[in-house]
Amino acid sequence: MKKIQKITSFLTAAVMLCGAAMPAEPLMQLGTVITAKAATSGTCGDKLTWKYDRTSKTLTISGTGEMTDYGHPDMAPWETFVNDITYVNMKDGITSIGNFAFYDCSSLGFVTIPDSVTSIGNAAFEYCDSLISVTIPDSVESIGNFAFGWCDSLRYVRIPDSVTSISGGAFINCPALTSVIIENPDCKIFDAKYTICNAYIASANTYVFSGTIYGEKNSTAQTYAETCDYAFDTLENACKLGDVNLDNTINAGDAAMTLSAAAAYGATGRYGNLTDIQIAAADIDGNDAVNASDATYILQYAAIKGANGKEFDIRELVK
């Protein structure tokens, strides 16, 4: 799809060049080439405004009501910065994330979705290659087609009880995805293997998912997983204390993420890219905070388990 978009843009530009006489040289004024400077603010809904900060690479969206739906060829007004945006901060009052809103934001690593949002549109975060995790608030009711498709770095996602429908391809071809937690036992999940998958295997003409889908026993999540021949487990096993990156192991990588999150909190008041589930997994001592002590417990656990090869309750290390 991304290649098609680029080819279409090229052909459109070619037609424009053929249909209009272009000056042999750039228009000059006092020795300087006159170029249009991309707007860094504007509107994105009847009562929504956006502003992009070039220094912090932050896109902030404020106001009330629904976001405009976008799509080829009329993409979001911040498309000029699509490869630069690293953080999207949506303020409370926004009720929907429009179709193709953050399509192909390849550097987007963190996004704040407020509790006022009830729907995530089609392809809203498609091709957001740097998005490791996303916190979907309990207000969201629907996730659109290909909403998080081709998010190469997305490792896990928690879909809250409020979500009643997950559309086709919502998490298609997310190669790093290992855990999908679906809390609503009656959530309507589009019945196709490509709705949640890591990749398409052309030789076998099928989609595959090597991770685990978590949900209530006898839920639609279990039915979906079994129909697709995907691994399923119950919700109580979805969060393993110490497994901060949710790769089903506890090691130095989890400790590093915990330290990084603690440092981020000291500087910004938020735990970097960690979602609620990761924060819970990192809080080893159960004091409702993530700090260096938690990272130390994780390192100790990894060292002890590495020495004797046996699993044990990491909380035994807390004194």
Per-residue model confidence (pLDDT) at position 28: 36
Per-residue model confidence (pLDDT) at position 36: 54
End-to-end CA distance of the chain: 54
- Give the DSSP letter string of 188-207: EE-SSGGGB-SEEEGGGTEE
Whole-prediction pTM: 0.74
Residue carrying structure tokens 């390849």: 106
Average pLDDT of the residues of the chain = 88
Residues in the chain: 319
For residue 13, is pLDDT > 50? no
* CATH 3.80.10.10 domain position(s) in the chain: 40-237
Determine which helix (DSSP H) or strand (DSSP E) holds 73, and give its type and residue range.
none
Cβ 160 vs Cβ 181: under 8 Å: no
Alpha-carbon gap, residue 247 to 181, rounded angstroms:
14
CATH number, span 40-237? 3.80.10.10
> pLDDT digit string (tens) for 128-184?
999 987 889 999 999 999 999 999 999 889 899 999 999 999 999 999 998 899 999
